[in-house]
């Protein structure tokens, strides 16, 4: 079944999940980073203080997703979306209008938690849970919502900042999103609550991924990309200098990464449905592994382009593969719980990754050596997951 048929018969549900992913842009680092200077000035924080505060609210939001994310397994999705949207609006009002820096940071935390955390959680969980034979395609399609935000919003916001202040620009974008959300909330075919809420004091039946060995064997495979790509983004200046390239080339390659995510998502989603997520889980990191080898051995502009494009292809394919594997292991009825656990683990790890790479650079490590370490991490993560993937394959994966 093609993407066109998916849109023809399920456009309402796909539209909800897609808009949730696009709305998550408000809490993504790429969007907040566009306004770092005026937000810091508004809150009375230096660049270093803002960075520390940003890391803190990000870690707190990770714990919040771990605690509240599983509720999507028993809360009706429409109500879940309304609560997240309401909290996101409160966060934006606090961030843009609060007279005290403490309230502003609370607003920033709510924007991170509801945007990057819960909106992404809503979109991926709906697409992964409500589709069966078309799950891969649906996940690939809704994932384009984040890619659209990453590609369109930075140049658009930079252009509009010429005429509008940063607060007015945030409010304008929120008004635009409201025009899209209101008809979906009123008229779209929202699914019902998937399960019953546990009674107060009752131990909830279901998976506890952090206590399961198979989760820990799978986790490194799914974290290789976010951890290592975060390091490349944060230390782009050191990377380009050591590889013999320039920041101008990096900027163009970053745009290339955004373009590469699209075929990664669309082909990855289709292949998940036709070949199965287990087989793809063993292969989808190959473009990134080859890119690391090329960057280490050749370097230069070609190495930078390889890292961005190879990473983009793999990032685009990862979400359909990851969510489909989670469903395969723990079932759709517990997808919210397991996805929340995975999201929290990724938030924690990507928060620590820049610190680890920064220490390595301070100790005198060259970026070529760091890339070699990333390649070794990728190979180890792939090897750790093989036993679990093999067992899933024999079970019909």
pLDDT at 270: 84
**Average pLDDT value for residue range 325-347:** 82
Q: What is the mean pLDDT of the chain?
A: 84
Who has greater pLDDT, 111 or 100? 111
pLDDT at 171: 92
pLDDT at 47: 66
Separation of alpha carbons 319 and 273, rounded Å: 13
Token pair listed for 301? 């502009």
**What confidence tens digit (pLDDT) does each residue in 11-41 have?**
888 899 999 999 998 888 778 877 877 888 8
**What confidence tens digit (pLDDT) does each residue in 207-250 have?**
777 888 888 888 999 989 888 887 787 777 788 888 888 888 88
pLDDT at 396: 58
Highest mean pLDDT among 209-213, 233-237, 297-301, 329-333: 297-301
Q: What percent of the chain has pLDDT over 90?
A: 20
pLDDT exceeds cutoff 60 at 307: yes
Burial annotation 305-318 (CB, 10 A radius, 16+ → b, else e): bbbbbbbbbbbbbb
pLDDT at 128: 83
pLDDT at 140: 85
pLDDT at 252: 84
pLDDT at 87: 93
Please spell the DSSP secondary structure of 64-87, one letter per residue: HHHHHGGGGGTS-HHHHHHHHHHH
Judge residue 138's burial from the number of C-beta atoms within 10 Å of its C-beta, 0-12 exposed, 13-18 middle, 19 or more buried: buried
**Average pLDDT value for residue range 336-361:** 78
pLDDT at 197: 65
Separation of alpha carbons 193 and 198, rounded Å: 13
Place of tokens 């996101």: 88
CATH architecture of 1-190: Up-down Bundle (1.20)
Instruction: Give the start-to-end residue ranges of the domains of the chain.
Output: 1-190, 209-397
**Average pLDDT value for residue range 376-387:** 92
pTM of the predicted model, to two decimals? 0.82
Would you place residue 136 in the very low, low, confident or very high pLDDT band (cuts 50, 70, 90)? confident
pLDDT at 110: 92
**What confidence tens digit (pLDDT) does each residue in 145-180 have?**
888 888 888 888 888 888 888 889 899 999 999 999
Q: Do domains 1-190 and 209-397 have the same CATH topology?
A: yes
pLDDT at 253: 85
Would you place residue 198 in the very low, low, confident or very high pLDDT band (cuts 50, 70, 90)? low
pLDDT exceeds cutoff 60 at 203: no
- CATH, range 209-397: 1.20.1250.20
**Average pLDDT value for residue range 277-282:** 87
Please spell the DSSP secondary structure of 261-297, one letter per residue: HHHHHHHHHHHHHHH-HHHHHTTTTHHHHHHHHHHHH
Separation of alpha carbons 203 and 240, rounded Å: 52
Which of 26-35, 71-80, 94-103, 261-270 is predicted least confidently? 26-35
pLDDT at 397: 46
pLDDT at 306: 92
Q: How far does CA 248 lie from the centroid of its chain?
A: 25
């Amino acid at each position: 079944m093609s993407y066109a048929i998916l849109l023809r018969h399920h456009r309402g549900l796909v539209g909800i999940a897609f808009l949730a992913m696009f709305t998550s842009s408000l809490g993504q680092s790429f969007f907040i980073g566009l306004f770092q200077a005026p937000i810091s000035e508004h809150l009375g924080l230096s660049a270093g203080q803002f960075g520390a505060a940003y890391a803190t609210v990000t870690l707190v939001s990770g714990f919040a997703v771990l605690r509240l994310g599983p509720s999507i397994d028993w809360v009706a999705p429409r109500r879940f979306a309304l609560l997240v949207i309401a909290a996101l609006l409160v966060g934006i009002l606090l961030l843009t209008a609060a007279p005290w820096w403490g309230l502003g940071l609370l607003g920033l935390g709510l924007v991170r938690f509801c945007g990057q955390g819960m909106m992404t959680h809503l979109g991926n969980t709906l697409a992964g849970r409500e589709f069966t034979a078309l799950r891969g395609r649906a996940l690939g399609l809704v994932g384009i919502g984040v890619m659209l935000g990453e590609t369109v919003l930075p140049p658009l916001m930079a252009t509009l900042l010429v005429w509008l202040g940063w607060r007015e620009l945030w409010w304008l974008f929120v008004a635009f999103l409201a025009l899209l959300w209101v008809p979906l909330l009123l008229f779209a075919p929202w699914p019902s609550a998937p399960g019953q809420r546990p009674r107060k004091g009752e131990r909830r039946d279901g998976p506890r991924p952090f206590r399961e060995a198979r989760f820990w064997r799978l986790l490194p495979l799914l974290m290789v990309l976010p951890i290592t790509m975060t390091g490349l983004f944060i230390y782009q200046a050191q990377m380009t200098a050591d590889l013999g390239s320039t920041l101008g080339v990096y900027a163009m390659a970053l745009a290339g990464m955004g373009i590469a995510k699209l075929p990664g998502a669309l082909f990855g989603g289709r292949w998940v449905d036709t070949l199965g997520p287990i087989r793809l889980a063993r292969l989808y990191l190959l473009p990134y592994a080859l890119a690391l080898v090329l960057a280490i051995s050749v370097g230069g502009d070609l190495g930078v382009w390889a890292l961005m494009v190879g990473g983009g292809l793999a990032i685009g394919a990862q979400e359909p593969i990851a969510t489909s594997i989670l469903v395969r292991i723990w079932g759709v009825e517990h997808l919210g719980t397991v996805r929340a656990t995975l999201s929290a683990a990724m938030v924690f790890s990507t928060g620590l990754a820049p610190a680890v790479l920064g220490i390595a650079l301070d100790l005198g490590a060259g970026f070529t050596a760091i890339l070699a370490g990333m390649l070794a991490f990728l190979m180890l993560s792939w090897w750790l997951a093989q036993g679990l993937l093999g067992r899933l394959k024999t079970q019909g994966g």
